[in-house]
Amino acid sequence: MSWSDRQSPIVAVATAPGRGAVGIVRVSGRGVAPLAQALTGRTLLPRVATYGPFLDADGQAIDHGLALYFPGPHSYTGEDVLELQGHGGPVVLQLLVARCLTAAAAPDAATGRPVLPGLRLAQPGEFTERAFLNDKIDLAQAEAIADLIDASTEAAARSATRSLGGAFSHEVNALRDGLIHLRMLVEATLDFPEEEIDFLEKANARGKLDGLQAALQGVMRQARQGALLREGLQVVLAGQPNAGKSSLLNALAGAELAIVTPIAGTTRDKVSETIQIEGVPLKVIDTAGLRADHETSDEVERIGMARSWEAIGQADAVLFLHDLSRMAEPAYAAADAEIAQRLGEALAGASTVIHVFNKADAVATEAVATHLAAPPAPAGQAVALSARTGEGLDSLRQRLLDMAGWQHQTEGLFMARQRHVQALGEAAEHLALAQAHAAQQDGALDLLAEELRLSHDALGRITGAFSADDLLGEIFSRFCIGK
């Protein structure tokens, strides 16, 4: 988007599509007051809700509602903002948007110029982008707005609210301030070598670097937790037909989502449901039963199995179900071993496999213990349960959270994204190199200064202090129109 496009006034419906009790049309730009006058027939007081008609070109009411005028810079975007809050019918809202566009293009009675030149429809996320560009919020706070809207759990919503309030930005800015101080000392030493300042000793550079690295690691731990709250985990249920995958999905979800019958091959395609455990969202996918390729001639079942392996390849975790009631059958045990081998080849360490021994209620306790201790289940990666009775489900939920690295704490967490985690990791890598240069006897101050600069830049990308236009376009294009 060009700079002139970012300067032009914009208008959009700011409420969700469809019918509702209230609908909002929002206008943002410089010099919005004359448009407010044309639409309402009166001069609006700043930040005061005024009830009345919204007028068409002939002075007839399109709707009646509240009009609010927020002169810049004391507004959401930092520009003049007008909000028309009327009834939430889509036709009425589109009429109001169209009226805003025609009124803006009409000549002003006093000057003869357009009332609000260049008014156009807003692009997705453009109101929030303007708030960022006008220094009302930083980039991490802008992303938190979208995360708050998209939050799928209460914990995620609370964490997004903390990020929107600046909790995450405060941590990042504190790190950046420490880096700025270090960079100032290093570059001053480079600029005035004749002063013979023993930088490493007198400025305690190593101590400051160690402190910054420790603080950065703490922020990274919190960011990973926040990213987990936002992104969640994709968990795939895999195993032979009739191992109890659909029953386990229903048990985890607490609802009859998948059809369960004794007939092998009942599930032919993927069935998914998003659940939450301690506020962490998990997308659980039930897949078609897996067999050796030579065991089926059913084309539909072959397609279902192919989709199962595709889902497995994209999973964060795989729950490999074993039917304890059939483990003593040689053919069944051989097929399980073959599937386990193929799982290892398909995942190549990218995902974690948890071996779930189902139908524990149907066999003796001694048999359960024997299978838990034997291959293919490595120590710590196996759990026995009964999807029918619910026994062992809590242990599985706990295992999933532990595998994800969840620290069982939501208070004080802020929302983060994978790009934030990556930027923090990059900053930590450059700090580690800076520590190595600082430890050298010859000083290597020029290399130390460069690593500090790169670490500083990486942190700046989180809050938007250093952001390319293509990054901004990628972020804000994912927002809804009107926000």
- The dihedral through the CA atoms of 167, 169, 172, 177 has a sign that is negative
256, containing H or E segment? none
Say if residue 244 carries a ligand binding annotation: yes
Q: Which amino acid is at 182?
A: L
Greatest pairwise CA separation for the chain in angstroms? 93
Please return the burial class of 179, using the count of CB atoms within 10 Å of its CB with bins 0-12, 13-18 and 19+.
buried
Say if residue 65 carries a ligand binding annotation: no
Say if residue 361 carries a ligand binding annotation: yes
Say if residue 136 carries a ligand binding annotation: yes
Say if residue 460 carries a ligand binding annotation: no
Residues 6+ apart with CB under 8 A from 330: none
Query: Are the C-beta atoms of residues 277 and 400 closer than 8 Å to each other?
Result: yes
Say if residue 270 carries a ligand binding annotation: no
Say if residue 258 carries a ligand binding annotation: no
Say if residue 388 carries a ligand binding annotation: yes
Q: Which residues of 198-237 are buried (b: 16+ CB within 10 A; e: fewer)?
A: ebbeebebeebbeebbeebeebbebbbbbbbbbbbbbbbb
The residue whose two tokens read 């059809």 is: 259
Say if residue 475 carries a ligand binding annotation: no
Tally of residues, the chain: 483
Say if residue 204 carries a ligand binding annotation: no
Say if residue 387 carries a ligand binding annotation: yes
Q: Which amino acid is at 79?
A: E
Per DSSP, the residues of 387-429 read TTT-TTHHHHHHHHHHHHT--S--TT-----HHHHHHHHHHHH
Say if residue 358 carries a ligand binding annotation: yes
Tokens of 131: 């708030």
Say if residue 246 carries a ligand binding annotation: yes
Say if residue 125 carries a ligand binding annotation: no
Residues 6+ apart with CB under 8 A from 409: 225
Say if residue 352 carries a ligand binding annotation: no
Q: How far apart are CA 378 and CA 227, in angstroms?
A: 28
Say if residue 162 carries a ligand binding annotation: no
Say if residue 334 carries a ligand binding annotation: no
Say if residue 245 carries a ligand binding annotation: yes
Residue 31 φ/ψ region, left for φ over 0, alpha for ψ in the -120 to 50 degree band, beta for the rest? left
Say if residue 250 carries a ligand binding annotation: no
Say if residue 483 carries a ligand binding annotation: yes
Say if residue 451 carries a ligand binding annotation: no
Per DSSP, the residues of 85-106 read EEEE-HHHHHHHHHHHHHHHHS
Per DSSP, the residues of 304-372 read HHHHHHHHHHT-SEEEEEEEGGGTTSHHHHHHHHHHHHHHHHHHTTSSEEEEEEE-GGGS-HHHHHHHH
Count of C-beta atoms within a 10 Å radius of residue 195: 10
Query: Are the C-beta atoms of residues 94 and 23 closer than 8 Å to each other?
Result: no
Say if residue 30 carries a ligand binding annotation: no
Say if residue 267 carries a ligand binding annotation: yes
The backbone torsions φ and ψ at residue 425, rounded to the nearest 5 degrees and listed phi first, read -65, -40
Say if residue 254 carries a ligand binding annotation: no
Residues 6+ apart with CB under 8 A from 186: 199, 205, 445, 448, 449, 452
Which parts are annotated binding residues for Mg(2+)?
A: 246, 267
Which parts are annotated binding residues for K(+)?
A: 242, 261, 263, 266
Which parts are annotated binding residues?
A: 26, 83, 136, 242-247, 261-267, 286-289, 358-361, 386-388, 483
Which parts are annotated binding residues for (6S)-5-formyl-5,6,7,8-tetrahydrofolate?
A: 26, 83, 136, 483
Which parts are annotated binding residues for GTP?
A: 242-247, 261-267, 286-289, 358-361, 386-388
